[in-house]
Structures are given as C-alpha cells and as structure tokens.
Structure 1
C-alpha cells in the first residue's frame, strides 16, 4: 500500500494521463451534465482500476472531489474491506453530503458498514452517528448512542457532537438531558462555544434554575465573552421573578444600567412583570417612573405589568385611579388592559364591575372575543344570573360566535344548580346538535342533574356510558349518586355503587362511609352500619367522633339506647371529647321514651365537668314537644333549666314579651355555629309552642327566624306571582305555623279580611288592591317527601288541611306537592267556618295534655287521632271535604257513615260491571257497521 503523502502526486499524474489518453472523455467531462459526469467518472474509475492499478481508496478520494458521492462511498467500503486505512476526511465529506441532502438512512448504513470493518475508527463513527441522528431529529436514537459511550474512559467527544446533542434537546424541550450532556462536556474538558452557553442559560431559566444560569453567564463573561443578546438577561430576570427573587432580578438590571447608557425596554418590562408576580406595585411604579425619566418610553406591556401588580396584591379598587393617572400622562388604555381588569373582577366574582367594564369596552369600539364571552358566562353562571347568561348566548349568536364546550358546561352547571332540569336537558341536546363531543365535566354535570332530580337510575346509566367512552367520573359524582339512591331508599343500588368503588381500588374518604351509614340508618338496617365501621377501619380510614356519633344515632333510631351507651363507654377510654357522644346517648334514650335515663345521663355529663351544648337543649325541647302530658314536658325542661338553660321553660310558663327578645339574642349566638344549630333549635321550639297551644308565641319566633334568615325568605312566594309556599325542611310545628300565616296571607290578598299581624300580610294586602300579583290557575304547596325526626311533613299538612275541608289534593305527577285550583281556594277561604278567624293566639292556660300526637309519621291534633285511624284504615284516601265531614262526626255516627260509604262503593262496583258488559256488546255491533263518508253519500244522491 502506498503512503498517503504520495496520493496527491499519484492522483494528479493519473488524471493527466487518463485525460491525455482519452481526449474524447475530457471533452464529455467538460460539456456534460451531472448525470453524465457520474457515468463518465464511473467508466473512468473502472479504467483507473484496471489499466493504471490505482487502489479504491485513491479512486474514492478523486470521486469525492468530483462530487460523485454514491460511487465514492461504494469504493470507500471496498477499500476498507480490502484492509486499507479509513480516510476520515473522505468519510466525513460523504456523510456531510448525505446529511445536507436529507439522506440520513444511507449515511447511517455507511457508518454501520465502516464500524463493522474498521473498528479502530469507533470514536469517529460514533460521533458521526450521533450528529446524523440529531440532524434527522431522532433524539432518542442519538441519546441511546451517546449513553453507550459514557462508560468508555477513552472516548472524548468533539464540540460539534455535544453542540448537536444540546441543540436537539433544546428543540424537543428535553432540558434535563441537555443539562446532563453539558455537564459531561465540561467534565471532559471540552470548551463550549458561546452559542452552547446561550442555549444552556435559556434552558436553565426554563427549568427554574436561574442561579445556575446566572453562574454560567458570569463564568462565560469572566473568560472574556460578553453576551450581546439582551434576551439572555431578560430570561434571567423573568426566571428570578417567577421564583420571587426580586433582589437578584434588580441586580441584573443594575448591571445592565452600568454597561449600557439606556437599558433595553424588554429588561425593564421583565423587571416590572417580576414585581407584578409578587404584588409589589410600589416597586413596579418606581421602575415605571425611571423609564419615564431615563427612557426608553413605557409600552403596553409596561402598563399591563403595573395593573397586574395591583391585581395580585388584591387592590382592585385602585385600578381606576391608576388608569386615570396613565390617561393624564397621555397613555391610551388598550383592549388587553381592559380585558386584564375584566378578568380580575371576574375572578373576584364582582358581577357589577364586570358588566360595567364590558359595556364601557363596547362603547369604546372594542369587540368582544371568544375568551371574553367564556369568562363572563362562567362568572354569570357561578352567580346564578340566568338572564345575563341567556343574553350573552344570544349576543354571541348575533355576532357569529358559536359557544364552545366550556361555555355549554358552565350553562349546564348553572341550570343544574338552580334545578331547572328541563333547560339542562335542552343544553345537552344543543351540545349534540353543534357536533361537540361531551367531556368529563359535561357528563358529571348531567349525572348531578339526575341525582338532584331524584332520578339516580338514569344517572347511573349515563355513568356507564361515560365509562364506556373512556371518561372517568369524579369522586364527588359517585358521592352524589350514592346519596341520591339513599334519598330514594334504593339501598341495594347505593351499596352496589359503593362496593364497585372499593373493588376498583378508589381511596374513599370518610364522607363516603358516613353517607352509607346514614343510608343504612334510614333503612333500618343497623347491622350493616356496624359492619361498615369495620370495613372503614380495614380501609385505613380512622373513625372520628362524628363517625361514632352517627353509629350511636343509628342505635338510637332503632330503639337500642343501651348499644349507644356501650359505644360511649368505649370512647371514654380514648380520652376524646365526649360532649357529642353524650348527646347521641341522651337523644337515643329520649327517642325511646326513657326520659328519666336521659335526664340521668345529663346529670352524669355535668358531674364529668362537660358543658351541655345547643344540641342537647334541642333534643330535650323536641322530646318535650312529643311528651304526652304537660307535667312530663315541664320535667324535661326543668332538667335543662337545672343544667343552665331555662329559656324554653320560661317561654312555656311565663307570658312576657321580653322572653321573645331573649330568644332573638340566643338565636344570634347560634347563627355562626355549623350543623344548622339555629335552624334545628327553632324547629324544636316551634313544635313545643304549637303542641302546648302557644300559637302567637310560635308566630313571633317564626318571624324572628325569617328575619335572621334561619328560615328562607321565600317560604311565602306571593310577591313572585306564585301564591305558593315552600315548607320543606321545616318541623311539623313550624310548618303548621307557616301554613296558618300563609292562609291568612291569602285572605288578605282576596280581600276577605283586613287582619294583617305582620309586615308580609300588609304588603300582600296592598298588592291585592293594586291587582298584583296576578291570579294563577292553581296554587301549589311544596311539602317534600322526606321525613325529619320520623315526622312526614306531607302527611301532617295534608291532615291539617283536610280536617278543615280545604281543596288541596296530592299532585298526580310529582310527589311532595299539594295542589288546589285558585277558584276553589277562593271559595273555601270565603265560605269555610274554619277560615273565619285564622289569627294565631296563645291559650290562656297550658293544657294538661299535649294537643298534638305523632301517629304513623303524621303530627296531628290529638282529638283527630281516632277519626284519622278509622278513615285511613277503612276507606283509605278520600276527598278533603269527605274527610272533614267524617272527622267532625261522633264515633258512632262516623262508623255508620263509613259503613254506608263502603256498601255504596260495593253496589257501585257491581253496577259498573253490568254496564261494562252491555257496553262491550254495543261496541262489537258498532264495529260491524260499515263507515261511509258524507261526500260519497252526497255524490250518490246527485
């Protein structure tokens, strides 16, 4: 093999000889195209190899000079296979040609061949392969190739290899890998170029390591290489701002002020944005003033940075002041600044300011964007502003915008929250008509709608569909579904959903177990509540006092106060606060009628230096309201009076208006307490006062509860053109007080009485004189279907109204509603003797026996109980007027009337059977007749 230093002479001599020998080839070479040149070189190389005896290595070198890379690569492979040394420069030139023309696969195939037959050139081929993978954007392959070299001590990569890897990692945002490559580069003593340093500084900033980036900048500048690109310093300032390292950001701006006469505007804006992220408005304003004094002039980003600083610092009330100052300086407030303000007020939930800014923006000629509509509709939906939301959607349609899925989802949540389920379904249909694909939020809202509409079965079906689409419901959605099944007393379905969650491996929190305990307690399956406590512990969820309280309530509801006391005794060993468990045990004994033991437990509680709270007062008041005699009630009230709370006893036995003021003061103390403390206390107090015929006092307490928003202000809906009333969640006594006041309201509206004992009646009477509200066709009383403390509000109000012969009947389509025609209600209020005097009055003396009695969940007048049982057992549900007529009869006459009614029904059924047979015969005869049109008959006559 010839030495390499002879190659130029050989090549030169060979080419001259070959061209002299073959002049025709020289002519073709000078005047042919590239494709022809390749053919010429191919013939020439064969001629050189056969006639002149040149080796493939030299011929490959000559072909590279002639840009015949394919044939050169072929001869290069041949030379290596014949044992010639690899010409590195020749190989790199061929690879560069392949790379520049995008022929990466052929380049890699060439490298594989070289690796196989030239193992001594491993470092060169490895570096070349890494560079080619990077240029081909095959970063994974490049990193795999690079990782194979990291364990080799003799391998030292070139700067170009490291730079290619770092640049490729930067493009694909693999910053951690780039950082590792850079560390290897510096460890191996390879000097990075300034471009590599700039890339690493930017990547360190994006990774959130501005100190590392700053150190690299200082190190590079110390070596004499200054960064001319201001974006390097801007990135550092922004990164320091995100980490709220304001002093270091300020130091960078200080360095720039020393280096340049005028600091670039981008650096100032970055510093102001850093101040804004930390809510430092004063510092941002100082930087703004410096820009105004020394230059450059502030821009839109500068102004937005000032406003953002106020927004982050929650100083929204100063935004208008700053805007006015900027306008006085000659700055124009842009659309982006207005949107920034609007977003800030929207996040704060200030609907008034958002609407004001929006109308001002439109007046200034700025057109709303899709983002703006999205923000405003989301805000209005959270604020339950139905009309505003619908107006926004209409406006979007007018300007040509189509609501996207996020907007529809906000509207779905709105209608679900306000329980307008018909519109919720309509929105879902609009989503489908628009061709949008519902997401998890859509399905979660729809399932929640079904749960609140007491249709959990349909909600479960939708959940199965959601899962089949690969979407996962939220845990809160599962919780709502389980609770909905519980309200519908569908215990098996609730248990199935709960067990399904456990089998799927969901980590359920304590609230799931509490809901299931309530469901088992309501269904009377108290053994499952006990087992659930064991399951709860096995799942790693430790029961709390609230959990044990629920278990004890379950025992109390099932009439097992002794079991509840056992739980209390176990809790005493733990050293926990026993006020809540004691209240559960006391409640269990009181509900079971063991009043003496309940009083004994209260005394034990005092002996253990535990202060009774509002829950225990409420339990004793409720027990007193259900006691048979006045003496029992006074004994129970004396017990809590001895414990330090004598207000209910004095309210029952003394006749003083000052006591009602004390009740008002006590309600004020209860209002901040959670768990509806004030609500439950007033409910129990209303039951007590109604039961012992202190109806006027009950009316005053009822009005106090509305005044303090303990009861809803829309219990009576006369002012809303509704004339209905909503008594849900009220106790039986409170509902009866409210119903009597409502009837008095209705008389005031119809003008049959001038009695107006309170503010609402006077308003209604004034409204009636003006012809407002308009008379509806029917009047609805909402009672609900739930039982509270084993009392059905629906049955209680129905018995009270039917005793008076009112025209209210159960709704045929929805349960929990009593409906009456408005005309029938007018006539009844006018003619019924029960409605002559609806004023609530206190009895001069307390009755010896409780005037009310709880019978099968119905809280009714004690004197009505025998008649109520007879009518329900023998006749079932009857019309209100018949119920009133039968209830007022003596026992003997009532029995005769009931028996006559039963006999009459049987005779009527027998007659109907006979009439039904004759009608069937007539129908068959009529079916055989031929039907002839009148037009055909007239034609025949003509």
Structure 2
C-alpha cells in the first residue's frame, strides 16, 4: 500500500470522530457512555467512507464503531476495489455485518439501499437464509426489497405463460404440461429468491405464507423448477401432510418435471410424521425408489428402521436393513445395535447372533452397546447359559455396562437362579458400578420369587440406605413379600412410603395392596382401596379380581365393609360374585336362586366370548374357592360345570372314561369341588382301570393363580387336597416313582373306602346351611 493511501486512511479515521449528529447523532463520547452498560459490547451504525488510493486498486473504509466497556473504538480496514462496473457504487461490507444491521434496523430499505445494486444473486440468497433463520417475517421484507429494487430482477428474462402451479393450499389448477420445462437452464435470480424464501417458510411451517408466495409467482409468471417444487413438498412433509406432498408430485409431473430422490424421500418422511404413521405408504415409496435404482440416503434408511422398530414390524426392518447393507452405505455401530435389540426384544437370539456375526465380518469391533443388545436377546429367550458365555467374552473385550449386568440379574432371578443374581450384584459393585433402581428391583423380585422374603427385606433396606429411589415395581414386590410373611404392618408402611414418593399407582400396585390387606384381615383399609380405585376409574386386573372374589369366602361382620364396597363399585364381576356367595342356601330360596343363576349364566356367556383364558379361568377359580369356603358345594359345582360347557378349552379336571384326575390350574376350592365331583362317578372309572391317580402338582404358572386359600405358593392345591384326603382316611398316597404332586391308590381300595357311610356323608356335594 502506498504512503498516500495510508495517510488517507488515517485522515478518514480522524475525520469520522468529528462527524455531525446527522451521521451518528452522537454529540460527545460522554453522552454516549451513559447509554452503554459496563462490560457489554454496543455496536453503532457504520459510517461508510470510500477512498481510492493512487493506483486505484484499494479502498479504505471505516466499517464499524463499537463500544468495549466505556471506550468508543473505530475499526478501519483497507480492501480491494470491486470490479470496474461497480466501482462507482458504495463498497460492500462483509455479509455478516450487513445481516446484523438488517436484524436491528428500524428502516430496512435505508439499510439495504446502498447495497441493492452491488449484491449478487448468491449474496441475496445467503442474506435471506441467515435472516430467515432468525425471523421469517424479516426475511419476507428483505425479499420484497430484492424483488422491487434489485437490478438482477429487472435484468432477468420473464417466464411467460406459466400457469402450472396448483398446490393444496388453494391455487387453481393449470393445464400446461410442456415436457421441455424439465430441461431448464440456470434458474433466474428471481426464481432462486423464491426458492430460498420457500425454504425459509418450509422450515418455519408457515403454510399460509407459502400459499401467498405461490400466488405471487403465478401473478409474475415465474415458472417453478425442481428445487422450488421440492421446497414446497418439504413444507408439507415437515408437518406430515402426505396427501399434500402427493399433490405436489402430481403438479411436478404435469409441469414436465420428474421427481428426484429428494422428492420421494420427502414423501417417506411425510408418511412417517403423519398423525397416524403411514408405515405401509413409506415402505411402498421406498420400494419404488429401489426398483427405479434411485439412491436412498442414510437418513431415510435410519428413519425407516426406527419406524419399523416402533411398529414392531421386524420383517420390514430386516428388509430395509438388508437394502442398506447392499447400498454400500457405511453402517455404524448404532444401527447394528438397533437391529440386534429389535430381535432381542422378542427373544430372537438366532437372528441377533447372525447380525452380530455380520457386524464382526464388517470389521466393526463390538462395543458395550452391541454386547448389551446380544445379552438382551439371550435373556429374553431364556438362554442363560449362552448369555453368561457372551458376558464372559464381554468382560474380556471391555468393561461391562450397568445395563448388561441388569439384564443378567433380572433373567437369572426370573429363572429361579437367584444365587447367580447375587453373584452378579457383587461383581457389579466390585467393578465400581453403582446399582440402580432396576438392579435392586430385579434382585428383590428374584428373592420374592424364590421365597427368600427376609433377603428381599434386607436388599430393600440397603437400597434406601444407598439413596436409590424405589419404583412402582420395587414397592409392589415388597408388598407381596410382606403379604407372604403376614407382615401386614410393614406392607402398610411401604404403601405409605409409596404415597409420599407420589408413585403412580395402577392396577398392578392396587392388586398387591388388596391382597396385603385382605390376607391380613385389614378389611377397612381394603374397602378404602376399592373405593379409591373406583373413583379413579381403575378396574382390577386379573389377580386383583381373584383376590377380591376369593375374599368373599370369609364370613362375619368384619368382611362387611369389603362386601359393601364391592357392591357399590362399577365392577360387574364383583356384583355377580357377591350374589352367588351371599345368597343363603335353603329350600325357601331355591326358586329365587334358580332364576338368578340363569341370569348369571347369561353373563358368563358374554365373558366367554370376549375375555381371555386367564381372565375366565381366574374368575371361575376365585368363585369356586369362595363358595367352597362358605360351604356352598353344590353351587360351586354348578359354576364348574358351566365353565366346562362355555369354554371348550376348560378341560380341568378332564372328563371321560379316565382314572386320572388332573387338578393343575385350579384354585384350592375349585380343586376340592372337582375331586368330589370325580369321586361321584367312580363306578365308571373302576371298570376301566386297576389304579387311580390324582395330579395335584402345578406346571402351569400364572394360570389364573392368586394368593388366596390357606396354602403357600405353587403347592397350595397339593397341600389342601392331600390334607383333605388324609383327614378322610383315604387310600391315596404320594409315590416317589410317579414324581412329585401325584397321588395314587388301587381302585379296589378306593371303592371300599367310598362304601363306608362316614365317607359317603363327608364327600357329598351338598350345601351346608
């Protein structure tokens, strides 16, 4: 730079300090300081000074005045001159500075006026984008200045005769379909501006303003191109408006413009974002892209896989994943994990293994997340040996995560291998991991399932000491543990703690509380739970209904609050049960009962049609249990026979010419009713076999069971039936060679036993008044 140029720059800088108030409206630095906060940076409007050096190749400009603290500082720069054609106009400042001025301007046209003639089309679009990201309304104002004042718009040729715009926002449809429109030259500056502003409105979701822009284009005969159509389609896609995107594609084709990969991907995104996700539509468009050899982006693959996973459509997810692998796209660990988890969630460990092998073949080292996903697959499938084998490999490769430990602890507990759950807990702590709510809850549930209630209690207390917050499942498990131990007061304290923690209580938690209070004979508290559930509109689950109905087997005034609460509820099963159990037996009531039973049988028929097996079985088991305990044996038998008639699958006890009585899946009362009913037909069986077998064991866990009756756990039926037969001096005995839970007797001994008068009277199926 020449000395003259530098001197000129210095004189410009010093001259600006003396500018009048018409330029900066600052009379003195002191007056200005009063409007500037200490420590903040305040920018003033820039003074524009243009000075040409002696060689005519540089220009000196003071671009901005800023306050730093309380000091006013001027910035002076020397930059090359613009091209000769624009040398007469004011020099263009940096675009970011101009955008900052636009954002804070009170008069937009005043700020833009010096730059209208010198900004290029690319620079206008950059400004529109940057301003639009901050304020779409301001971007619209900038676009208006561009359209009305920029010479680029005036110089660009007009697009006559275009009437092809017809979008869902309400534009009338044109008839033009000139195929030559698909072969356009470089878009005009005006079309580029329209495309940019459409993108701004699309990202902001401004459909009404987008409609206005389309109207303007029709009025000004600006013909859209592929990018413009895609911009409009993007606006509708972002809002999940599938039909609107479809109409845009139709308009494109009518205008002679073929949709590209971006267009089809926007249709896929729209289908996935729709209020009711249209996964089938998205997959259909995806298949069309593959059939037409269109490139599919990584984002599209990932979104489709996520959507298939959310919908539980594993087959579709596999197809998308295979297509992604064939496309040559790099598949990162996160996607491999997603696919393994998807199969693992349903126990598909073989498919998870195949994906795991493919990951290794691709040269990707398994991460902790990959091992966690594979563990999930084995644990859900109940393949604990394979899970532990993978876990050993996991520990050699990297430090296992807390999630991996939790998967194994939970699976071990559910499989009855509680010792391994405890060993994993110790290993987890040794590795410096902090047990979580899931860790403690899984351990507590394992202890409760194994019947180690005191260990569960110790784990619960340790959980509280470590400051780990229990969840609804933790509290429910502890309530069940205290119920099994008859520690009703401790269970009640857990209930109070749960309410203090504001845990949301659903049917599962309420069912556990009902069982706690009814087993502990806290009938007022149980009645309060019934009323609370009824007010909240929460219906008991299967176990809850079983506990409530079975409790009707108790008699006396103490149970009265529970009975009244059940009768006052909106729960039809409770109405039916209370009538069957509370209506006394006797000749004077037989006619009334017969009529009522016919009505009840019609309700049973309705339930048989829409209730699942577990609900039906639990209902019948609970009613028979309550009726047996109240001495209403004939009525209990009527319920059992009706269940056989209405439910073809209700084959327990099995009937026919058989000497084997299978009591598995029945409640304590139901099993005893079935036993007496079976013994009444002994004459039929005695002619067919030399021995008789009663199967009292249970290989049907969860089959409508509930914690009622006097027995404990899975052996409740065995305890009750065995005790009853021993009390009656029956010849049935448990033989080791038959296996546990099976009682056998020679037929001739059973016939002889039943011929005794005392046995006949005790085994009669009649109602005790």
Please give the TM-score of this superposition, normalised by the length of structure 1: 0.49
User: Residue in 2 aligned with 1:479?
Assistant: 476
Deviations 1:16-65 (A, max 9, x none): xxxxxxxxxxxxx9699x9xx99x989x99xx9xxxxx99624999xx9x
Q: Deviations over 1:504-538 (max 9, x none)?
A: 5455345544433322221223343345556667x
1:57 aligns with 2:57: no
Of 757, 766, 769, 1:848 maps to 757
**Is 1:688 matched with 2:676?**
yes
How far off its partner does 1:274 sit? 5.7
Equivalent residue in structure 1 for 2:68, among 106, 118, 122: 106
SS at match of 1:728: helix
Q: Aligned residue for 1:817?
A: none
Q: Give the 3 Å change call, closer, same or farther, for CA 263–525 of structure 1 in structure 2.
A: closer
The answer to whether the 8 Å contact 1:595/1:636 transfers is no
Over the residues paired in the alignment, what is the CA RMSD in angstroms?
A: 6.7
Q: Is the 8 A contact 1:524 1:558 kept in 2?
A: no
Residue 418 (structure 1) aligned with residue 403 (structure 2): no
Aligned-pair CA distance for 1:606 = 2.9
Match of 1:286 in 2: 288
> Could you tell which deviates more after superposition, 444-453 or 417-426?
444-453
Per-residue Cα deviation, 1:156-183 (whole angstroms, up to 9, x for no partner): 99679xx99995995xxxxxxx5xx434
User: 2:392 aligned with 1:394, yes or no?
Assistant: yes
Match of 1:182 among 132, 136, 140: 136
Report deviation, 1:390. 1.6
SS at match of 1:389: helix
- 2:415 & 2:474 partners in 1: Cα distance? 18
Residue 495 (structure 1) shift? 1.2
1:241 and 1:273 in contact (8 A); partners too: yes
1:431 corresponds to 2:425: no
**Where does 1:170-209 land on structure 2 (aligned, <5 Å)?**
170=133, 178=134, 181-183=135-137, 186=140, 191=145, 209=205
Shift of 1:214: 5.5
- After TM superposition, the structure 1 = structure 2 runs for residues 561-580 of structure 1, keeping only pairs within 5 Å, are 563=560, 567=564, 571=568, 580=574
Partner of 1:464: 464
1:581 to 575, 578, 586: 575
Change (3 A) 1:489 1:227: farther
| 2:375 aligned residue | 377
The answer to whether the 8 Å contact 2:33/2:70 transfers is: no
Partner of 2:610 in structure 1? none
The answer to whether the Cα contact below 8 Å between 2:301 and 2:320 also exists between their aligned partners in 1 is: no
- 1:525 and 2:513 are equivalent in the alignment: no
Cα separation, 1, equivalents of 2:725 and 2:311: 48
- Aligned residue in 1 for 2:439: 442
Q: Distance in 2 between matches of 1:727 and 1:357?
A: 40
Matched-pair contact (CA < 8 Å) for 1:626–1:853 = no
1:403 lines up with 2:400 in the alignment: yes
Question: Can you list the C-alpha shifts for 1:91-144, whole angstroms capped at 9, x where unaligned?
Answer: 999995467xxxxx7279869xxxxxxxxxxxxxxxxxxx999979xxxxx99x
Q: Measure the CA separation in 2 of the matches of 1:731 and 1:704.
A: 5
- 8 Å CA contact 1:377–1:410 kept in 2: the answer is yes
CA shift in 2, pair 1:220/1:513, >3 Å: same
Q: 1:135 to 1:372 in 2, by over 3 A?
A: farther
CA distance in 1: counterparts of 2:255 and 2:421, whole angstroms: 63
Q: 1:385 deviation in Å?
A: 1.8
Q: Could you tell me whether the CA contact under 8 Å between 1:491 and 1:519 is conserved in 2?
A: yes
Residue ranges of structure 2 left out of the alignment (5+ in a row): 35-42, 50-59, 74-95, 116-125, 148-189, 273-277, 605-616, 646-653, 705-712, 764-769
Cα separation, 1, equivalents of 2:528 and 2:323: 69
Cα drift, residue 540 of structure 1: 4.8
Q: Is the 8 A contact 2:375 2:404 kept in 1?
A: yes
- TM-score of the two chains, using structure 2 as the length reference: 0.58
Give, in angstroms, the shift of residue 386 of structure 1. 0.8
| More displaced stretch, 489-498 vs 557-566 | 557-566
Bigger Rg, structure 1 or 2: 1
The answer to whether the Cα contact below 8 Å between 1:564 and 1:585 also exists between their aligned partners in 2 is no
8 Å contact kept, 2:621–2:667: no
Q: 1:334 to 1:444 in 2, by over 3 A?
A: same
Against the structure 1 CA distance between its residues 425 and 275, is the aligned structure 2 distance closer, same or farther, given a 3 Å change threshold?
same
The CA distance in 2 between the partners of 1:168 and 1:425, in whole Å, is: 61
Greater helix share, structure number: 1
Q: Judge conservation of contact 1:197–1:216 (CA < 8 Å) in 2.
A: no
- Aligned partner of 1:730 in structure 2 is 717
User: Secondary structure at the residue paired with 2:382?
Assistant: coil
C-alpha displacement at 1:391, in angstroms? 2.2
Query: Structure 1 residue 249 and structure 2 residue 245: aligned?
Result: yes
1:838-891 deviation per Cα after TM superposition (whole angstroms, max 9, x unaligned): 89964244443349999xxxxxxxxxxxxxxxxxxxxxxxxxxxxxxxxxxxxx
Pairwise mapping of residues 481-630 of structure 1 onto structure 2 (< 5 A)? 481-509=478-506, 511-533=508-530, 540=536, 554=551, 556-560=553-557, 563=560, 567=564, 571=568, 580-584=574-578, 586-587=580-581, 602-603=593-594, 605-606=596-597, 611=602
Q: Indicate conservation of the 8 Å contact 1:57/1:75, yes or no.
A: no
Structure 1 unaligned spans of 5+: 1-28, 49-53, 65-71, 100-104, 112-130, 137-141, 171-177, 648-655, 713-725, 748-760, 765-780, 784-796, 801-834, 855-942
- Asked whether the 8 Å contact 1:381–1:411 carries over to 2, the reply is yes
